[in-house]
A and B are shown apart, each in its own frame.
Chain A
Amino acid sequence: MLGIATFQTRMAQTQVEIDQLQRSIDRARATKQSLERQRAELRSPVRLGREAQAMGMVQAGTVGFVQVDLETYVDAIAASGRMERDEVGSTP
């Protein structure tokens, strides 16, 4: 009898823990969603435009393009640490 009682108590305790974990998962999921929403809002061009304007920035005028030779391009990318030099060279 004592064994059965202990077993039942243990089961009840585990169930409570499972319920608590489930609630934690739900909360974490809600937090993740909330953070994703905040990130999207922060990256929105509306906000960026407003912030830039507040900082006194203006929209760029005519854009100019310059021709860069491949060697210079490869060096610049490799120097940035984003890719190895060999990898850059293999890109078209």
Chain B
Amino acid sequence: MSHRSRNLDPDREGTGTRRVVRVADGSTAQTLRSVGEVRRRDVTARANEPRRSTAYGLKRRTPVDVHAHHFRVGEVRTRMWVILVVISLCFVGILVRVGMLQTTQQDVYAKFAAAQRKRNETLPAPRGQLLDRNGKPLAISVAAKAIYADPRAIADAGRTVVVLGRALGLSAERQKELLAKLSVPDRSFVYVARQVEPETALVVENLKLPGIGTQDEIRRHLPNGEVGRSLIGTANVDGVGSAGLEKQYDAVLTGTPGQLRYTRGTQGRSLPSSQKALIDPVPGNDITLTIDLALQYQTERALIAKVEELKARGASAIVMDSRTGEVYAMASVRRDADTGAVRVGGGNYAAVDSYEPGSVAKVITVAAALNEKKVQTSTTFMVPDRKMFWDEWLHDAETHPTMPMTVQEILAKSSNIGTIFVSQTIGPDKQEAYMRAFGFGAETALDFPGESRGILHPSSRWRGTENVTVSYGQGVSATAVQLVSAVNVIANDGVYVAPKLVRSITRPGGEAESTMASASRRVVSSDVARQMNLLMRDVVCVGTAKGWAGIKGYTIAGKTGTGYKAHKNGTYFDDEGRRAYYASFVGFLPAEDPRITILVSIDEPPPNAQHFGANTAAPVFNKIARSAIVDLGIQAPTGSGGCPSEPKENR
């Protein structure tokens, strides 16, 4: 590239009016027309000279001829060249960059591009259903939607919140909370609402609010409302079991999420010819329980009615198949401490709460003594109504003179002192051994979340009156499940059968696989079980439950129990010196060939005359037994006629 000098050297070629200006390389650049023009060129030349300082050290402003630029031809060309070079360099740079992108960095950017176009969508898997023994749904999964927001894409958060609030029925407080979340800078995801009905979500989708989207979810639904809730438990919004059977069988109920992969266009639609890869979600397994929905409902209703009537704290009931251990109904209701309303409790108190069973435990003591052949049903003891043991007076529930009582009468009249005498024939070690054999002190096979094992200390640690009170159910605690299973030993011919809640498990599209039969073990001989069966019929016909539990045409065997409730201060009295009770009744029917065993426990009946197992729990037993007879089609054996003299109908 040639270079032209910036310093012009006017070369006079004549004295006339025309002058020729030559540039440094000697070529003639332009012809000037007048002296004035030459002067102007001179001025311009001076302007290019270094500036001189004034007397004060300041630089003098040199006048510049603005028109002089028109004549700097060489300078313009230089600039053009510079621009050309710069553009060329940029172009070369772009070419190099493109080359790099297409070669060395190709993989990286191909992945970025694919990530923008490819969509991976997780398809939620429906959670398995919980069904009753007849296939009626107890807990099902239904489609739901989650509504979310991307605050970065929302221009007017205030207006968006108002519109969403109206569509979703959000409270003012919730709207305020949501607005605060949407106003947090750089936040990219906020849940607006979860587990929303699909129809409601569709309304929101149609609003086409910027930054608001929806995604699929699965919601757990109990079609029968509160029925069985204490047993079923709950699954949280993420579909994870958090209580009850939902928690216990979470792994069985949880399905495998699916996946959908596709390439989407600008509108979010899948592109033609793009490969769709779909992995179908696999639903969880269905679990068929042993529960009978209708009987569960009737049981809960009966409990709620009685707790409301008595103004008690709560109640539990279990209906169990005497032979198989299958649980037909397991209900727990409790009074809400704030509202006072009685409803199906959130917790399965029949399995997680243990309490001192009171006289129901006498069944174990008498059966143990009979099995050890230390007594017979006709063995007689002289029984006072009160007696001192370890410096403490223990007494029967009702006063009576010291009188001879057979073992049969001791059980029928539920004498504490008489039962102590019976237990003393076998001693504390045997007493403990039999209580364990009947299932006390260990969790049942239900393995329910949070299930209590109750309290049964080794007999070597029994202190003072504990050595004798355990025989009638004080100083020992058991859950309702343990208690009904223990008494069921008598109904089941002396064999303990573990309670069972799951009947079968069905894999998606597969056959139902029945669960194993409940484990069983012999506890007392068949003969002792038969004798106890007869003794327990007396309890209903002539004993403490007379007139409360009987059903015309059916022979019922049972036992009442009223246990003191231990308080937090370690005594049986609260801070105001009052007692609280657990009133129970356990029975089975038809006694000649038992089909069902039922336990009812009332938690804290009023501490007046209405706190006994007979007048609080036995009537509920009666009600539930009637429902069970209808629902399960329990027919009394031919010739069964209840008690020798039929008890009057339940009041």
Contact = CB atoms under 8 A, between A and B. Distances in A.
Interface of A: 8, 11-12, 14-16, 19, 29-30, 33-34, 36-37, 40-41, 43-46, 49, 59-65
B626 A14 contact: no
Given A62-B551, A62-B553, A37 B221 contact: yes
Contact of A14 (B142, B269, B272): B272
24 contacts: A8-B272, A15-B270, A15-B272, A15-B273, A16-B269, A16-B272, A29-B143, A33-B142, A34-B142, A36-B137, A37-B221, A40-B136, A40-B223, A43-B136, A44-B224, A44-B225, A45-B293, A46-B225, A61-B626, A62-B553, A63-B630, A64-B553, A65-B635, A65-B636
Given A33-B143, A62-B626, A44 B269 contact: no
A82 B362 CA distance: 52
Given A33-B142, A41-B223, A65-B636, 11 more contacts: A15-B270, A40-B136, A41-B224, A44-B223, A45-B224, A46-B224, A46-B227, A49-B301, A59-B627, A61-B626, A62-B552
B224 A36 contact: no
A5 to B, nearest CB: 13
B140 to A, nearest CB: 6
A65 B630 CA distance: 10
A40 B140 contact: yes
A45 B294 contact: yes
A30 B198 contact: yes
- The binding surface of chain A is classed by DSSP as helix
Contact of B143 (A30, A43, A46): A30
B297 A46 contact: yes
A12 B269 CA distance: 11
Nearest to A37: B142
A51 B553 CA distance: 31
B154 interface: no
A18 B223 CA distance: 35
A49 B300 CA distance: 13
B278 to A, nearest CB: 9
B271 interface: yes
A91 B635 CA distance: 20
Contacts of A46: 224-227, 297
B556 to A, nearest CB: 13
Interface string B210-227: 000000000001011111
A16 B271 CA distance: 9
A19 B272 CA distance: 10
B629 interface: yes
Interface string B331-354: 000000000000000000000000
A23 B166 CA distance: 27
Contacts of A60: 630
Contacts of A29: 143
A16 B269 CA distance: 8
B142 A63 contact: no
Interface in B617-640: 626-627, 629-630, 635-636
Interface in B243-278: 269-274
Interface in B136-192: 136-137, 140-143
A86 B260 CA distance: 53
Given A37-B223, A40-B137, A11 B142 contact: no
